[in-house]
Amino acid sequence: MIPNYTLLNNLYQNDKNSLIRNPVYRAVEFYVNQVLDPNRITLTSDNEDFIKFCKDTLQTSNFSQNNPKYLRELALFGNLFLKVVKTNGKVYFISIPQENITNLEEDSRGYITEIEFFVTNADNTYSIERWSKSEQFAYFYYSRVTPKSDENPDTFLQLSQIGIDFIPIVHIKFKETDTLYASGCVSSVIPKIIEANKLAARLHELQFKHNAPIWKRISNTLTRDGSKNAKVIKFSDETIINLAEGEDFTPTTPSVNYADALAILQAMEQEVEKDLPELRYFEISDTAASGKAIKLLFRAAIDKAKEVRINYLYGLTRILQICATIAQFTGLSDYLGEYPDGLKLSIDVYENDLVDVAEKFEILSKAVNGNINPEIIMNALGFEPAEIASQLAYMSTQNKSILSILKDEQ
């Protein structure tokens, strides 16, 4: 199991911790929203048959539906494991639940050389898989009472039977590190988050002790030992107490300078935000600031998301190449090509990159007035190829400039 799995999962769900101020959910969802939209990717390869195969595999793997789940795992836990599955005449990929991985070994390139994981069955028994590159076998165990393999598998598979000599599982990391498991977006900030919540919880306790005002009724009359007579009284909403001469009330709740205590808490939250710039996404998304201003405020978070996207797309490319290798060897697809040259693939993402339509108009206006090809500028601004082709075609048929088209859209 990955380090801190239970703690991270509880922080995201915020069920067992019940933290008053918990930014983990927001930080994770930023990456779900920003790293990859399956509807805005383009597959590029010299091999058209391979492109068609990849598109079919993404659909068979239900990638559009599973993509948010994959990104949540990657952002929260720092790791994502995608496994190729061949069954019922199909080849597709799924994710392995990280809490079920009991053993993992990798080489210096980050390729898996040994892995073992289990699945809990409906009858509370376990199905276990152990894959070994050195042995060139995969071993399968069914209906076991413990989630560990032994020397007596129920069945096994030689890797050469599916046309490979490596383990068909890809480990994607949130951020590339030399450690076996990477850390997620909030892992390094957990102590600060917990400390901030201690401050918030303690402040609430002091302000609302026992959820009701508790006072001491003190009499100036001295007792035999020389102390003042005091009695603790818990008021209801309409309690009326008559005070005798020389009696007074004193609150049991300490006098707290709430403004100063709140300032300390806010300083701690600002410290957390420095480590998690992605939290600004939820603060400025509804502002009237221009795309350029938002981009400047948001630059650190964008840079982090880009690094995650690079790792994610690399892993996605590799899992598709493995699917193609297995499919063509086992006869589930026509011959597609040999890895690596025959199965080269580039996955590109088209996005607006926080530039709004008004800014696009301004940029295009200056570019076209400077005799720059509008198609080049539209590409740079993140228009999809289909959008560019459609706009240029409409421009030629209507005898309009690209500027007037954008003006009409505004």
Q: Which two tokens stand for residue 96?
A: 């392995």
In this structure, the answer to whether residues 111 and 73 fall within a common structural domain is yes
In this structure, the answer to whether residues 170 and 230 fall within a common structural domain is no
Using DSSP bridges, classify how beta strands 137-144 and 155-158 pair: parallel, antiparallel or unpaired: antiparallel
Which of 12-26, 140-154, 342-356 has the largest mean confidence? 140-154
In a domain, 21, yes or no: yes
In this structure, the answer to whether residues 55 and 118 fall within a common structural domain is yes
- The residue that leads in pLDDT, 193 or 57, is 57
In a domain, 167, yes or no: yes
The two counts, helices (H) then strands (E), for the chain are 13, 13
Please say whether the beta carbons of 152 and 138 come within 8 A: no
In a domain, 41, yes or no: yes
pLDDT value at position 398? 57
CA distances to 9, 132, 345 from 109, rounded to whole Å, are 29, 16, 20
In this structure, the answer to whether residues 13 and 131 fall within a common structural domain is yes
In this structure, the answer to whether residues 132 and 248 fall within a common structural domain is no
Q: What angle do CA 54, 59, 61 make, to 5 degrees?
A: 90
Mean pLDDT of the chain: 81
What is the average pLDDT across 316-331?
95
The tens digit of pLDDT for each residue in 181-231 reads 999 999 888 888 888 877 777 777 666 655 555 666 666 665 555 555 555
Per DSSP, the residues of 357-410 read HHHHHHHHHHHHHTT--HHHHHHHTT--HHHHHHHHHHHHHHT--HHHHHHHH-
The tens digit of pLDDT for each residue in 95-136 reads 999 999 999 999 999 999 999 999 999 999 999 999 999 999
Residue 279: which of 33, 15, 16 has the closest Cα? 33
pTM of the complete model: 0.74
In this structure, the answer to whether residues 20 and 140 fall within a common structural domain is yes
In this structure, the answer to whether residues 114 and 227 fall within a common structural domain is no
CA distances to 75, 276, 316, 330 from 337, rounded to whole Å, are 34, 43, 18, 14
With 80 as the cut, is the pLDDT of residue 74 above it? yes
The tens digit of pLDDT for each residue in 21-54 reads 788 888 999 999 889 999 889 999 999 999 999 9
In this structure, the answer to whether residues 153 and 220 fall within a common structural domain is no
Please say whether the beta carbons of 210 and 348 come within 8 A: no
Phi, psi (deg, nearest 5) at residue 211: 60, 20
The tens digit of pLDDT for each residue in 364-391 reads 667 666 667 777 777 777 677 777 787 7
In this structure, the answer to whether residues 9 and 77 fall within a common structural domain is yes
Could you give the dihedral angle defined by the CA atoms of residues 276, 281, 283 and 284, in that order, rounded to the nearest 10 degrees?
A: 130
Q: How confident is the model at residue 354 (pLDDT cuts 50, 70, 90)?
A: very low
Task: Name the residue range of residue 404's domain.
Answer: 355-410
Phi, psi (deg, nearest 5) at residue 150: -140, -165
In a domain, 175, yes or no: yes
In this structure, the answer to whether residues 243 and 383 fall within a common structural domain is no
With 80 as the cut, is the pLDDT of residue 70 above it? yes
In a domain, 269, yes or no: no
With 80 as the cut, is the pLDDT of residue 355 above it? no
What is the three-class DSSP state of 89? coil
In a domain, 364, yes or no: yes
In this structure, the answer to whether residues 228 and 362 fall within a common structural domain is no
- The residue that leads in pLDDT, 293 or 110, is 110
- The total of structural domains in the chain comes to 3
Which of 80-84, 250-254, 259-263, 269-273 has the largest mean confidence? 80-84
In this structure, the answer to whether residues 148 and 67 fall within a common structural domain is yes
Q: Which of 171, 186, 201 is the last residue of a domain?
A: 186
Q: What angle do CA 117, 121, 127 make, to 5 degrees?
A: 35
